[in-house]
């Protein structure tokens, strides 16, 4: 294998180019922005770890009037467009900010991080304090922003103010580049201060983007398109480019051709099938896209160890809470669709691009939309899957082995966590004392507090039942041969020389629960699940259990 200097975790275009790191040319984005798809405000949304910040850094270095970037772009596609480079390269003042660090457990701490983000920009542009073109009053506001002493109103208007200052100083309009614009809002939604942060970000972006004569154009990146009515109110000539769009599809993530060349350059073409299975599968516009974070990490591991197996690198950059939201969400409809996806199939779903973070989890449609827009699902390419789709509907599937593993591990963790959630001593006492009425009540209570309104079928309830006891340290056997068949769950109590035999049935209707219990007990008797324990245990307790959604009924033999 040939060693390549890989830009692992790097998002500074200048650092990568100056220090000889391997770089896949994405400079075509510049000409596409300027010529083919020119707009006053362009919002580009992609899942995390698909190169958004690096792309924005490239734009900043190309346009920034304070730099000489000719050497950085030498040999890249954009350098062949001589007239465009003369007109645009290093010709405009640039405000380039990333909001990815604006986070906090409460509004105060997040607001302070927003202040720091603006202050750091001011510190890098302290020379504006020496400009004779800028009024004293403006310099005083600038100084307060720089020292994190600005008023709330001054911070909300800071982008518009800084653009105006830079235009006055340079005599040219400003190019505004805002990276990860929705991180502050997403974090606020998760931590309970959504309205406060939305007010600040809405004012900050609105004042800088709406009819601002100081801004030539703006490019904004994020994971989701927050509804125009929510944050981009009044923004004219606004273009949104998501993974559903066909505009900039090839510029975020690695295309098939780029990935093949990367592997050839590393003399690692033999690993192409594994890379494709684990990290390909995304479909943005007309392009087949690989996750660049994964490909680079795996290639890095292969350079250290040619026997390295593919791993879930993307998983480790997030808590994957969105999948957990699905598991906690109500209804059997989601369950059936999730099982279809986990079996490698596809589902048909309406996708809503215009979302607000406070309503992300308000409906099943929103949840599927988030899974798709954040990279956990992609559009299916199987033959016939796109036929008869209604307007706004898409055939969706899990993109690759890595994301499949994320789904499976998250669901498994949920089972493990569920088993530890509550004090279940009453439930255990009911089992070993043969109290099926109390066991019914305790099991139903546990179902209601940990499963919500789920309806997963027998396999789900078997796993849930086994997890309750295994999580408390009891020896448990599940679906193991006993007598003349396979019993659902066997729980051992060696200390008291007791064993409990459970047979679970899923009732399709509420009125069928009693019948399902009887069927379960009949199966225990007919298949003699309990017979082999007679010589070794003092007491054998046999239970037939029926489940219906979040209801449970238990009967003892």
Q: What are the residues whose beta carbons fall under 8 Å from the beta carbon of 183, sequence distance 6 or more?
A: 99, 100, 101, 102, 103, 222
Mean pLDDT, residues 297-322: 85
The tokens of 530 are what? 């309990």
Q: Does domain 13-249 have CATH number 3.40.50?
A: yes
The tokens of 364 are what? 């099943």
319 has pLDDT over 60: no
Q: What are the residues whose beta carbons fall under 8 Å from the beta carbon of 177, sequence distance 6 or more?
A: 56, 59, 60, 94, 95, 96, 97, 218, 219, 220
- Residue with the bigger pLDDT between 35 and 481: it is 35
The tokens of 22 are what? 């391997």
Query: Which has the closest alpha carbon to 118: 140, 92, 150, 85?
Result: 150
Q: What are the residues whose beta carbons fall under 8 Å from the beta carbon of 527, sequence distance 6 or more?
A: 482, 483, 484, 485, 487
> What CA–CA distances, in Å, run from 446 to 115, 231, 425, 427?
45, 41, 12, 9
Q: What pLDDT, on a 0 to 100 scale, did the predictor assign at position 338?
A: 78
Query: With left for phi above 0 and alpha for psi between -120 and 50, is residue 392 left, alpha or beta?
Result: left
**Angle in degrees, 0-180, between the axes of helices 107-124 and 136-146, rounded to the nearest 10:** 130
pLDDT digits (tens, 9 = 90+) for 157-202: 999 999 999 999 999 999 999 999 999 998 998 888 999 999 999 9
- Residue with the bigger pLDDT between 463 and 405: it is 405
pLDDT digits (tens, 9 = 90+) for 437-486: 999 998 888 877 654 434 456 677 877 788 888 878 889 988 777 656 67
Q: What pLDDT, on a 0 to 100 scale, did the predictor assign at position 452?
A: 42
Chain-centre distance of CA 22, in angstroms? 27
Q: What are the residues whose beta carbons fall under 8 Å from the beta carbon of 131, sequence distance 6 or more?
A: 168, 169
Mean pLDDT, residues 250-272: 97
Q: What pLDDT, on a 0 to 100 scale, did the predictor assign at position 315?
A: 75
Cβ-count burial 260-280 (b if 16+ within 10 Å, e if not): eebbeebebeebeeebbebbb
Give 393-438 as a DSSP string: EEEEE--SHHHHHHHHHHHHHHHHHHHHSS--HHHHHHHHHT-HHH
Q: Which residue has the tokens 């007679």?
A: 534
pLDDT digits (tens, 9 = 90+) for 61-88: 999 999 999 999 999 999 999 999 999 9
- Residue with the bigger pLDDT between 460 and 412: it is 460
pLDDT digits (tens, 9 = 90+) for 128-138: 999 999 999 99
Average model confidence (pLDDT) for the chain? Answer: 88
Element (H, E) at 506: strand 498-506
Q: What backbone torsions phi and psi does residue 233 show, to the nearest 5 degrees?
A: -55, 130
- Indicate the Cα dihedral angle 261, 314, 226, 31, nearest 10°: -20
Give me the count of residues in the chain.
557
Largest CA distance in the chain: 98
pTM of the predicted model as reported, rounded to 2 decimal places: 0.78
pLDDT digits (tens, 9 = 90+) for 417-429: 655 555 688 899 9
First-last CA distance in the chain: 66
- Percent of the chain surpassing pLDDT 90: 62
Range ranked top by mean pLDDT from 14-28, 219-233, 430-444, 524-538: 14-28
Q: What pLDDT, on a 0 to 100 scale, did the predictor assign at position 333?
A: 64
> What CA–CA distances, in Å, run from 442 to 80, 446, 552?
72, 6, 9
The tokens of 36 are what? 């083919």
143 has pLDDT over 70: yes
Q: What pLDDT, on a 0 to 100 scale, did the predictor assign at position 453?
A: 36
The answer to whether the beta carbons of residues 212 and 160 sit under 8 Å apart is: yes
120 has pLDDT over 80: yes
Q: What CATH number labels 421-556?
A: 3.40.1350
The tokens of 497 are what? 């020389």
Q: What pLDDT, on a 0 to 100 scale, did the predictor assign at position 247?
A: 87
534 has pLDDT over 60: yes
d(Cα 241, Cα 108) in Å, to the nearest integer? 32
Q: Return the number of other C-beta atoms located less than 10 Å from residue 351's C-beta.
A: 21
Q: What are the residues whose beta carbons fall under 8 Å from the beta carbon of 369, sequence distance 6 or more?
A: 349, 350, 351, 352, 353, 355
Q: What pLDDT, on a 0 to 100 scale, did the predictor assign at position 330?
A: 44
d(Cα 502, Cα 467) in Å, to the nearest integer? 13
Element (H, E) at 460: helix 458-470
Chain-centre distance of CA 527, in angstroms? 47
Query: Which has the closest alpha carbon to 165: 272, 115, 93, 228?
Result: 93
């Amino acid at each position: 294998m040939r060693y390549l200097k890989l830009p692992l975790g790097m998002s500074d275009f200048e650092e990568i180019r100056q220090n000889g790191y391997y770089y896949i040319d994405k400079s075509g984005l510049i000409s596409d922005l300027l010529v083919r798809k020119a707009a006053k405000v362009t919002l580009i949304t992609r899942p995390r770890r698909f190169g958004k910040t690096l792309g924005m850094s490239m734009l900043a270095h190309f346009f920034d009037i304070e730099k000489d970037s000719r050497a950085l772009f030498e040999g890249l596609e954009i350098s062949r467009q001589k007239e465009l480079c003369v007109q645009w390269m290093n010709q405009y003042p640039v405000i380039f900010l990333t909001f990815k660090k604006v986070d906090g457990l409460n509004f105060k701490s997040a607001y302070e991080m927003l202040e720091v983000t603006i202050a750091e920009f001011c510190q890098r542009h302290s020379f504006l304090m020496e400009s004779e073109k800028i009024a004293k009053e403006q310099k005083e506001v600038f100084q307060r922003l720089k020292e994190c002493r600005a008023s709330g109103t001054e911070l909300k208007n800071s982008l518009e103010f800084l653009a105006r200052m830079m235009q006055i100083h340079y005599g040219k309009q400003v190019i505004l580049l805002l990276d990860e614009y929705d991180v502050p809002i997403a974090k606020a939604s998760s931590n309970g201060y959504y309205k406060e942060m939305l007010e600040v970000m809405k004012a900050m972006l609105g004042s800088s983007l709406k009819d601002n004569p100081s801004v030539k154009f703006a490019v904004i990146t994020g994971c989701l398109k927050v509804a125009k009515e929510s944050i981009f109110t009044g923004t004219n000539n606004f273009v949104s480019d998501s993974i559903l769009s066909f505009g900039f599809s090839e510029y975020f993530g690695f295309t098939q051709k780029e990935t093949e060349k990367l592997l050839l350059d590393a003399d690692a073409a033999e690993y192409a099938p594994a890379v494709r299975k684990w990290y390909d599968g995304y479909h943005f516009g007309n392009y087949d896209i690989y996750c660049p974070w994964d490909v680079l990490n795996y290639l890095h591991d292969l350079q250290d160890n040619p026997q390295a197996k593919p791993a879930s690198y993307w998983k480790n950059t997030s808590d994957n809470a969105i999948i957990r939201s699905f598991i906690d969400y109500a209804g059997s409809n989601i369950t059936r669709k999730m099982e279809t996806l986990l079996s490698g199939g596809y589902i048909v779903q309406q996708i809503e691009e215009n979302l607000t973070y406070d309503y992300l989890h308000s409906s099943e449609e929103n949840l599927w939309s988030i899974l798709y827009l954040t990279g956990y699902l992609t559009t299916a390419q199987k033959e016939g899957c796109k036929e008869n789709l209604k307007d706004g509907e898409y055939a969706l599937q899990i993109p690759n082995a890595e994301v499949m593993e994320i789904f499976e591990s998250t669901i498994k963790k949920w089972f493990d966590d569920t088993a530890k959630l509550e004090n279940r001593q009453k439930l255990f006492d009911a089992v070993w004392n043969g109290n099926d009425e109390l066991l019914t009540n305790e099991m139903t209570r546990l179902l209601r507090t940990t499963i919500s309104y789920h309806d997963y079928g027998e396999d789900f309830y078997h796993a849930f039942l086994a997890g309750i006891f295994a999580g408390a340290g009891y020896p448990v056997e599940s679906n193991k041969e006993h007598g003349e068949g396979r019993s659902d769950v066997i729980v051992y109590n060696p200390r008291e020389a007791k064993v409990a035999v459970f047979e679970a049935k899923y009732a399709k209707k509420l009125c069928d629960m009693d019948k399902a219990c009887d069927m379960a007990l009949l199966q225990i008797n007919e298949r003699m699940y309990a017979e082999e324990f007679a010589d070794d245990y003092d007491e054998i307790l046999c239970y037939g259990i029926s489940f219906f959604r979040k209801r449970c009924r238990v009967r003892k033999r």
